[in-house]
């Protein structure tokens, strides 16, 4: 008997990345050059923005036949710009704030918690975004801030910028309420996450449903950021690309 496997996977910097990063990864492997990169996701204008390396394509081949569920910081609109891999089952978006069912609608059991979370933290997200915007203008930081929406509600505050700008923004977020926000920071991205945007909680919810349906189901977790570790630790196995934030923080 073949046992069913569900793969919970982060996307950006795990299964694909920007062209410059993809090329850097492919260089030196004997698989470099423009031909070695495969388009995985597009930007708002329809231009290719993210690419698989040959190694990432090989990994996707290995996962063929598994149920693959994205667990991503992307909101639904940005996830819909991903063309590879193709997701047919559930989807977890916006750092765990939203859990979509296979029909593309928010999972019925997730609608109540999502509505309650967005109502409780929506005003605070707007206030935090305004405070960060004020800081960006006063200190002339190379950054931009916005409240990300998903499924029609506010889900988290996204700040993109250089390292110095993110250092200042991070300090401000902590001053505004260190107990209120969890921070996800990697590269040029900083996200201030309300409690209901939690990858681990969303994966735990879906895992419980799947275990009830099939107690023998096996779970595999993939991710690159320290903020992915929470959901990866719930899985039977965890897989981390080399050279990523987890690799650097935990293994070196």
Nearer to Mg ion, 188 or 217 (CB): 188
Determine the interface stretch with Mg ion among 4-12, 26-34, 92-100, 119-127 (rule: CB under 5 A).
Answer: 4-12
In the complex, least distance from residue 13 CB atom to Mg ion, rounded to whole angstroms:
4
Determine the interface stretch with Mg ion among 13-21, 74-82, 101-109, 134-142 (rule: CB under 5 A).
Answer: 13-21
Beta strands 237-239 and 218-222, pairing class = parallel
In the complex, least distance from residue 75 CB atom to Mg ion, rounded to whole angstroms:
14
In the complex, least distance from residue 144 CB atom to Mg ion, rounded to whole angstroms:
20
Q: Which of 6, 9, 13, 56 binds Mg ion (CB under 5 A)?
A: 13
Q: Which of 6, 8, 12, 235 binds Mg ion (CB under 5 A)?
A: 12
> Restricting to residues 26-45, which ones interact with Mg ion according to CB under 5 A?
none
Nearer to Mg ion, 7 or 153 (CB): 7
Determine the interface stretch with Mg ion among 42-50, 123-131, 162-170, 224-232 (rule: CB under 5 A).
Answer: 224-232
Residues interacting with Mg ion, by CB under 5 A? 10, 12-13, 224-225
């Amino acid at each position: 008997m073949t046992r069913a496997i569900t793969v919970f996977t982060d996307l950006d910097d795990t299964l694909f990345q920007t062209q410059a990063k993809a090329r850097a990864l492919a260089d030196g492997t004997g698989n470099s050059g423009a031909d070695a990169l495969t388009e995985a996701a597009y930007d708002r204008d329809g231009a290719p923005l993210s690419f698989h390396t040959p190694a990432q394509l090989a990994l996707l081949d290995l996962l063929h036949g598994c149920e693959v569920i994205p667990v991503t910081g992307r909101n639904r609109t940005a996830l819909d710009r991903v063309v590879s891999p193709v997701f047919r089952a559930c989807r977890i978006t916006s750092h765990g704030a939203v859990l979509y069912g296979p029909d593309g609608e928010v999972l019925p059991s997730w609608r109540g918690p999502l509505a309650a979370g967005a109502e409780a933290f929506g005003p605070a997200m707007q206030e935090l975004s305004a405070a960060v915007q004020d800081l960006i203008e006063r200190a002339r930081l190379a950054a931009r801030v916005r409240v990300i929406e998903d499924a029609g509600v506010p889900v988290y505050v996204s700040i993109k910028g250089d390292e110095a700008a993110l250092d200042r923004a991070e300090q401000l977020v902590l001053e505004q309420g260190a107990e209120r926000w969890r921070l996800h920071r990697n590269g040029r991205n900083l996200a201030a996450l309300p409690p209901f945007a939690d990858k681990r909680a969303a994966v735990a919810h879906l895992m419980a449903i799947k275990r009830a349906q099939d107690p023998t189901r096996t779970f595999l977790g993939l991710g690159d950021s320290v903020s992915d570790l929470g959901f990866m630790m719930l899985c039977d196995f965890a897989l981390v690309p080399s050279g990523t934030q987890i690799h650097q923080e935990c293994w070196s």
